[in-house]
Structure 1
Amino acid sequence: MADTVAIVTGGARGLGRAIALELAEHGARVAVFDLDIAGASQTAELIRAAGGDALACEVDVADEPAVQAGVARVVERLGPPLVLVNNAGVLRDDLLFKMSVANWDTIMNVHLRGAFLMSREVQSHMVQGGWGRIINLSSTSALGNVGQANYATAKAGLQGFTKTLALELGRFGITVNAVAPGFTVTDMTRGVAERVGIEFDELVEREAAATAVRRVGAPEDIAHAVAFFAAPESGFVSGQVLYVAGGPKS
């Protein structure tokens, strides 16, 4: 992936940071998009400290003008983006009867609208270059999860989005795939433990016991899967959803 320009949304921490670092390790020049510009800048600095090239951009992926301006800045500073990782995400968990419209809309805007706006904005550069990779971050929650009607719906929607873009863009040398993580240790999952009122170590132990490999995921596990889909060698794989969850999911 030497000198390939990649954009990673939600790259300020957690999965996004691990993915950005992994792509940079493979030679990509990485643009880190996030509303948390301080965190995005830290990710970019880690890449530069390791000898790579990176750019931090403060971008709300649900805001069309912000997405357009962010991608234009990437083109000017790094070059046309040929890899896009739609990772930006938030949680607004609640049972259906308590879920507010605002929390439903927030999830849809960040996960679905954000992936749509980012993909639409970068696809022209990929088409022009005759090559591209779009990787969407789904989740095992797409299969259903209590208290996550909004999040599960958005993550399932991303799988349909992935398969449709694969059909539309394949003729231009662009592949589109999704990675669906299982329980992975991040700040977001630590927040889940706080909301349900249990110790994080207890939650990790419970989730590990439910996997075939008897452990939970690390951000690097997800980053390795994304790097496979981003690589030139994966060119005959498109429209797929890879569950990185320590066991079979369907």
Structure 2
Amino acid sequence: MSPITLITGAAGGLGQAVVARFADIGHTIVAVDLNSDALAACADRHRAGPGGIHVMPADLTDPGAIVDLGDRVHREVGAVDNLLNIAGYLHRGAMADTDVDTWGRTLDVNVTAPFLLTKAFRDDLRTTPRGRIVNCSSISATVGYPLPAYAASKAALSSLTRSLLFDFWGTNTTVNAVAPGAMRTPMVDIANEDKMVAKTPAGRIVTPEDVAATIAFLASDDARGINGTTVTIDGGATAIFSYAQP
């Protein structure tokens, strides 16, 4: 039986690349997203994969919906081997432009949902022969960034990633995160791409496929020795400076 891999944010720019990557290597995919129409379209493109794809729309800001999702996955698909928390929410605003509701929604999607999803599938991931959790953080977690709600949420997610090691101590499950730089997805203001490329030693911004490949590596047997870390994928940009410089 192929591994069962749950992917949140599956209809987004990065999520679709991750779905494609894991479909290609034969995983059974549980695709989760708030946008049911985009999720169905994504599934149609990859339904022919050898492992199959199960579409499960869900509002990850609702703790009850996450409990229901866990019940449905176990009832209709089975125990999860890989949990890929790709869903994210980005508010384009400085502190003065960020109200408490927006702050809360950012934390709900970017931190609380991965936490609750990990709880929902904890027993699966502790008992599977080789489990993997990969969270999608951001370079904003470690550099100064002009979008404080997003940056704070991603820093919290990277810290959560390290702290979850204690819950999976002594098991075959690893917990890691990726921290992408600028990518050509709907979340990124691509109007500034030339400026971002100029600040990237690799001479280009990364693609969703670059990030998906790293996630697939972290989910592989070859990465069994990597645990509790956040892998930066930004073409070298934050090694020497920040996209967010004036």
**TM-score normalized with structure 2 length:** 0.92
Q: Which residue of 2 aligns with 1:175?
A: 174
Q: Which residue of 1 aligns with 2:85?
A: 86
Please state how far the C-alpha of 1:249 moved relative to its aligned partner.
3.7
Within a 5 Å distance, the mapping from 1:115-194 to structure 2 comes to 115-189=114-188, 192=189
Q: Which region of structure 1 is more displaced relative to structure 2, 93-102 or 11-20?
A: 93-102
Q: Which residue of 2 aligns with 1:229?
A: 218
Q: SS of the residue aligned with 2:216? A: helix
Quickly say closer, same or farther: Cα 1:229–1:170, change in 2 above 3 A.
Answer: farther
Q: Which region of structure 1 is more displaced relative to structure 2, 155-164 or 127-136?
A: 127-136
Q: SS of the residue aligned with 1:216? A: coil
Preserved contact between residue 5 and residue 83 of structure 1 (Cα < 8 Å): yes
Identity %: 29
Answering whether residue 220 of structure 2 is matched by residue 220 of structure 1, we say no
Q: Which residue of 2 aligns with 1:20?
A: 19
Please state how far the C-alpha of 1:73 moved relative to its aligned partner.
1.8
Q: SS of the residue aligned with 1:43? A: helix
Match of 1:147, as an amino acid?
P
Q: Which residue of 2 aligns with 1:112?
A: 111
Q: Which residue of 2 aligns with 1:53?
A: 52
Query: Relative to total residues, which structure has the larger helix share, 1 or 2?
Result: 1
Q: Distance in 2 between matches of 1:204 and 1:33?
A: 29
Ranges in structure 1 where 5+ consecutive residues have no aligned partner: 194-199
Q: Distance in 2 between matches of 1:7 and 1:128?
A: 16
Q: SS of the residue aligned with 2:17? A: helix
Q: Distance in 2 between matches of 1:92 and 1:181?
A: 17
Within a 5 Å distance, the mapping from 1:89-100 to structure 2 comes to 89-100=88-99
Preserved contact between residue 82 and residue 133 of structure 1 (Cα < 8 Å): yes
Count of residues paired in the alignment: 239
Q: Distance in 2 between matches of 1:171 and 1:249?
A: 34
Q: SS of the residue aligned with 1:94? A: coil
Q: Distance in 2 between matches of 1:144 and 1:119?
A: 26
Q: SS of the residue aligned with 1:185? A: coil
Preserved contact between residue 167 and residue 239 of structure 1 (Cα < 8 Å): no
Q: Distance in 1 between matches of 2:181 and 2:106?
A: 18
Q: Which residue of 1 aligns with 2:232?
A: 243
**RMSD over aligned Cα atoms:** 1.5
Q: SS of the residue aligned with 2:31? A: strand
Preserved contact between residue 62 and residue 117 of structure 1 (Cα < 8 Å): no
Q: Which residue of 1 aligns with 2:244?
A: none
Please state how far the C-alpha of 1:98 moved relative to its aligned partner.
2.5
Q: SS of the residue aligned with 1:85? A: strand
Q: Distance in 2 between matches of 1:133 and 1:52?
A: 18
Please state how far the C-alpha of 1:222 moved relative to its aligned partner.
0.6
